[in-house]
């Protein structure tokens, strides 16, 4: 084939504009990847993200470094990552609070839907509705019915958090007199229900206390059942309209090349699906909940809209 000057120029232009995704696929990753955790070191989100990083770097062929950036219920880290270069080298392991709960309540300086691309979800702690073992309430139905005639108090990890908003929604739907008592963290809310200072608590770390017979699990707030307690219903199984799933997922800044997103989703999904990771999470008392990037995006959008409606009803 004979190349003219014009055809040669066209070929060069085509080569310049064509292989962006191909180049990204060939070159990525060629240096360490950073996963930002929006909480302090030692928590379950931090520990699970570090295990995910350790296992995924063997697949991707580059070190994956976890960096803790706590503050402002996780929103500080979300802003940092939203403003980072969209090159696949800065990611965030996020949870429900900075993804859709806090953004439903106030301006956080980012839009989870437009400033990030979800890669996958790999976990999300169950939040149980627990009462003391000797409580007169033995089901969600009896608790709600009891709260229609007299006030039932319930503790959570803090005002306007996901658990508080979830039960505020239940109170509105049923007309039950459910009085919120906020505590500084889930551990204090758990201690309060154990001590009889509140009638119930909505907390994530309930498994051992329920199995030891100190607490009774009435149900879970999430859209899926806790496999450790198959008899505990979800809110929908208890006849209520709402469900409030928790997430632990990995996001990238908006604008990241789709080829890179696909590579990361494949690698992280391989890790999350492995028996080794599932065993690790079981020992951490955390479930493995895998959602694709597309499914996670839908979950974030649905919950952001739901929490906005609840916040509006509460006058926030």
Q: Report which of 250, 246, 168 is spatially closest to residue 203, judged by C-alpha positions.
A: 246
pLDDT interval class at 8 (50, 70, 90) = very low
The pLDDT score that the predictor gives to residue 243 is 78
The pLDDT of residue 9 = 44
- Please tell me the predicted confidence (pLDDT) of residue 316: 63
pLDDT band at 83 (very low <50, low <70, confident <90, very high): very high
Position 130 scores a pLDDT of 98
| pLDDT for residue 111 | 97
- Look at strands 116-123 and 248-253 and give their pairing: antiparallel
Mean pLDDT, residues 264-281: 98
| pLDDT at site 25 | 55
Q: What SS3 string covers the chain? A: CCCCHHHHHHHHHHHHHCCHHHHHHHHCCCCCEEEEECCCCCCHHHHHHHHHHHHHHHHHCCCEEEEECCCHHHHHHHHHHHCCCCCCCEEEEEEHHHHHHHHHHCCCCCCHHHHEEEEEEEECCCCEEEEECCCCCCCHHHHHHHHHHCCEEEEECCCCCHHHHHHHHHHHHHCCCEEEEECCCHHHHHHHHHCCCCCEEEECCCHHHHHCCCEEEEEECCCCCCCCCCCCCECCCCCCCCCCCCCEEEEEECCCCHHHHHHHHHHHHHHHHCHHHHHHHHHCCCCCCCEEHHHHHHHHHHHHHHHHHHHHHCCC
The answer on pLDDT for 238 being more than 70 is yes
Structural domains in the chain, CATH included, are 31-125+246-313 (3.40.190.150), 128-220 (3.40.190.10)
How does pLDDT run across 49-64, given as a tens digit for each residue? 999 999 999 999 999 9
Q: Stretch 77-100: mean pLDDT, rounded? A: 97
List pLDDT tens digits, range 145-171. Answer: 999 999 999 999 888 888 898 899 999
Indicate the burial class of 113 (C-beta count within 10 angstroms; 0-12, 13-18, 19 or more): middle
pLDDT in tens, 18-45: 455 555 556 999 999 999 999 988 888 9
Q: With a cut of 80, say whether residue 2 has pLDDT above it.
A: no
- Residue 14 corresponds to which tokens in the numbers above? 């085509």
Q: How far apart are CA 57 and CA 140, in angstroms?
A: 44
**Residue 13: predicted pLDDT:** 47
CA distances from 167 to 9, 103, 155, 249, 294 (A): 66, 19, 10, 24, 28
Q: Report the pLDDT value the prediction gives residue 23, as an integer from 0 to 100.
A: 53
pLDDT in tens, 165-199: 889 999 999 999 999 999 888 889 999 999 999 99
Condensed to tens digits (0 to 9), the pLDDT of residues 199-224 reads 999 998 899 999 999 999 999 998 78
Is the pLDDT confidence value at 1 over 60?
A: no
**pLDDT score of 144:** 97
Query: How much is the pTM?
Result: 0.82
Token pair in block for residue 51: 């295990």
What is the per-residue pLDDT for 110? 98
**Residue 284: predicted pLDDT:** 87
Instruction: Report how far residue 184's alpha carbon sits from residue 37's, in angstroms, rounded to the nearest whole number.
Output: 21
């Amino acid at each position: 084939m004979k190349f003219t000057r014009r055809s040669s120029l066209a070929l060069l232009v085509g080569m310049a504009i064509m292989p962006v995704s191909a180049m990204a696929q060939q070159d990525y990753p060629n240096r360490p990847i950073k996963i930002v955790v929006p909480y302090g070191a030692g928590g379950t989100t931090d520990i699970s993200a570090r295990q995910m990083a350790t296992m995924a770097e063997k697949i991707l062929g580059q070190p994956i470094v976890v960096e803790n950036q706590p503050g402002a219920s996780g929103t500080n880290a979300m802003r940092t990552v939203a403003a980072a270069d969209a090159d696949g080298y800065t990611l965030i392991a996020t949870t429900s609070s900075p993804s859709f709960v806090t953004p439903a309540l106030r301006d956080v300086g980012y839009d989870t839907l437009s400033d990030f691309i979800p890669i996958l979800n790999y976990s999300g702690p169950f939040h149980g509705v627990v009462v003391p073992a000797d409580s007169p309430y033995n089901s969600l139905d009896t608790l709600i019915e009891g709260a229609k005639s007299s006030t039932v108090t319930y503790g959570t990890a803090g005002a306007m958090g996901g658990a508080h908003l979830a039960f505020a929604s239940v109170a509105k739907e049923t007309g039950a007199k459910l009085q919120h008592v906020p505590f500084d963290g889930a551990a204090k809310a758990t201690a309060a229900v154990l001590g009889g200072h509140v009638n119930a608590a909505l907390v994530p770390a309930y498994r051992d206390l329920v199995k030891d017979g100190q607490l009774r699990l009435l149900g879970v707030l999430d859209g899926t059942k806790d496999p450790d307690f198959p008899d505990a219903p979800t809110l929908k199984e208890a006849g209520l309209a709402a469900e409030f799933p928790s997430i632990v997922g990995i996001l990238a800044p908006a604008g990241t090349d789709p080829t890179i997103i696909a590579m990361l989703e494949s690698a992280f999904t391989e890790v999350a699906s492995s028996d080794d990771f599932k065993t690790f999470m079981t020992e951490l008392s955390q479930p493995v909940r895998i959602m694709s990037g597309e499914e996670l995006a839908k979950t974030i959008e649905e919950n952001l809209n739901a929490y906005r409606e609840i916040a509006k009803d509460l006058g926030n």
